[in-house]
Amino acid sequence: MSESLAIQAARQSRPVLAFRLVQWATLAALAWKIGAFIQMSKCYFSTPLRQEFFPAALESPTLLVGVYVGAIATLGIAAMTEVRRRRLIATWCTLVLVSILCVHQGSYNDMTFATAWWTSVWSVWLASRMGVDGSDAIMARAAFLSRCIISMILLGGAVGKWTSEYWSGQVMYEIYFVDRDFWFFNFLRKSLDAESLRTAATWYSRKVIVVESVCGLGLWLLPARWAAAVAIVTLTLIAVFSNFNLFSVLLSLIGLAAAGFFVTANK
């Protein structure tokens, strides 16, 4: 009897653990950007930008900094609180704050906040369903929703590369292979002659296109745990072999992908 109760308690705790993991992962993604965000904010304070497209509030560097700090704070509250109502309020606050970051003049073009927005939408949904739906059902739905979101984002990245310039490797060559100071490209420049380096850029670019396309089109169809593993490996390798700064974009998605591991093994 006690063993059955322990198993039941463990099952009931899985949605909460998955929720907290995603909050911490999203917080880590925003925190990963702190250095760059500070430099960016200094530029906006010293050289204010004025464009008719943005309302005055969405041009304010003070609002930009306040919303960024607020989002980190509400993510921490959502991750740590034990109270369902407080968790839901904090998660809604995070979604509102990240939404502002997605439309503010100083941050609208940053994928860090776009991916954080999608994980915030997922978090609001999960926070609203915890304690309402059964644990197994809610985790199956949460994992399916998470891999659909990741598939959509990867497919969007792939579609943008379905051009002859990317397929030939020319874009990747000019962006990364010529002079990008990163361990992988530094290694290739030291190891290859000019012609081989250009060939490597072609196959590197094609690998990126194929992987993003296959994952974008098919990741959501995989069983939850397989999808979680494939997504985490793929997203991690994107940053490891192109730019560590991309972890600010990818950490929230990596946490989202990990939700698949909280689904029961037969799902």
List, for residues 195-240, the tens digit of each pLDDT value.
Answer: 999 999 999 999 999 999 999 999 999 999 999 999 999 999 999 9
Model confidence at 242: pLDDT above 70: yes
Q: What is the mean pLDDT of residues 91-109?
A: 96
pLDDT of residue 135: 84
pLDDT level of residue 52 (50, 70, 90 thresholds): confident
Model confidence at 2: pLDDT above 80: no
- Report the percentage of the chain scoring pLDDT > 90: 83
pLDDT tens digits for range 72-81 = 999 999 999 9
pLDDT level of residue 6 (50, 70, 90 thresholds): very low
pLDDT tens digits for range 252-267 = 999 999 999 999 865 5
pLDDT of residue 11: 54
Q: What is the mean pLDDT of residues 154-177?
A: 95
pLDDT of residue 152: 97
Question: Mind spelling out the 3-state secondary structure of 185-220?
Answer: HHHHHHHCCHHHHHHHHHHHHHHHHHHHHHHHHHHH
**Average pLDDT over the chain, rounded to whole?**
92
pLDDT level of residue 245 (50, 70, 90 thresholds): very high
pLDDT tens digits for range 105-147 = 999 999 999 999 999 999 999 999 887 878 888 999 999 999 9
pLDDT of residue 48: 81
Pair of tokens at residue 154: 């990867």
- Report the percentage of the chain scoring pLDDT > 70: 94
pLDDT of residue 8: 46
pLDDT of residue 74: 98
The pTM of the full predicted model, rounded to 2 decimals, is 0.91
